[in-house]
Amino acid sequence: MDEKEVDVSQWVEERLASLDAPGAWRPDTVRARKRLRNRVCALQWGRRAVVTATAAGVVVFVVALGTPQACATPRGCAASLWQRLFATQIVAHGVASTPLTASFKESGSPSAPITCEIYSDYQCPFCAQMFMETLPSLAEFVRTGKLRLVHRDFPLSQHQYARLAARYANAAGLLGYYQVVVDRIFRTQKIWSQDGDIDAQVAPVLPPEVLRHVREMVGSDPQLDQSVTADLEVGRREEIRQTPTLVITFHGQRQTITGMPDLSLLRRYLDGL
């Protein structure tokens, strides 16, 4: 205890000693002194405690940023991270930076130094694998403003129901439910790929009124095909031949990665950029 702390304690003792309550009432001075002394000590050490707690909080925050969060199941991990990537795009960014892609199909800052275009086919098993295994690992690059992700629909001719799946996803996107339906389509791919009944798989994850509008749009809205056609045209100019394919752009230089990339190598490549 330093000199100031001794002076404060002495002053408290003197003040307590000078108290002389009138009448028959007799205070418990021992208890009162103890309580007041504790309060003084708490005030004296409070500032030190605040400084220590603040420093500890900064350390915990930095560690949390650099540590991957564990998930109860792979499904829960992929779903939650996908929602973080896409859930707020319409509100946050408004009109997409390129007119060929709807804003709900983009995530990340338009000014991010790296852009990654993902050419994907909803009926492609490797695209589903990329969605569940690769995209969650890119979330930190998006959150920190380093990476902008762009989904491009690239239904292959051998996949009978891929374009229909894209119509469902884009219709839901126009209504604010893109990430929910994309997640459902990829995770139930093996089921609807048998008969094309995508409606039965997405119905449980949409509110009834939204589902009704999605069905109407899938049945008649030409805007949904325009979006897919625009993505296909961009893919043809890029000479895309298979899915999944990543096109990574950095300072005007474009790098094409076909097939399922090695995740550790991809992360190191992005870190290097």
Domain-ending residue, one of 42, 66, 90: 66
201 and 127 in a single domain? The answer is yes
The domain tally of the chain equals 2
**What would the two tokens of residue 68 be?**
């991957």
Among the listed ranges 53-62, 177-186, 195-204, which one has the minimum average pLDDT value?
53-62
pTM of the predicted model as reported, rounded to 2 decimal places: 0.62
Give the CATH number of the domain where residue 169 resides: 3.40.30.10
C-alpha 210, offset from chain centre: 23
Please give the backbone phi and psi of residue 244, each rounded to the nearest 5 degrees, phi first. Answer: -80, 155
59 and 80 in a single domain? The answer is no
42 and 163 in a single domain? The answer is no
Q: Tell me what the pLDDT averaged over the chain comes to.
A: 75
Which structural domain, as residue segments, surrounds residue 30? 3-66
Average pLDDT value for residue range 3-13? 56
125 and 42 in a single domain? The answer is no
39 and 95 in a single domain? The answer is no
For 247-264, letters b (16+ CB in 10 Å) and e give: bbbbeeeeeebeeebeee
3-state secondary structure of 169: helix
CA-to-CA distance for 11 and 28, rounded, in angstroms?
19
Residues 211-270: tens digit of each pLDDT: 999 999 999 998 888 989 999 999 999 999 999 999 999 999 999 999 988 889 999 999
197 and 265 in a single domain? The answer is yes
Among the listed ranges 9-18, 42-51, 264-273, which one has the minimum average pLDDT value?
42-51
83 and 150 in a single domain? The answer is yes
Q: How many residues does the chain have?
A: 273
61 and 78 in a single domain? The answer is no
45 and 154 in a single domain? The answer is no
Residues 125-147: tens digit of each pLDDT: 999 999 999 999 899 999 999 99
Residues 190-227: tens digit of each pLDDT: 999 999 999 999 999 999 999 999 999 999 998 888 98
* Rounded percentage of the chain residues whose pLDDT exceeds 90: 56
161 and 59 in a single domain? The answer is no
105 and 22 in a single domain? The answer is no
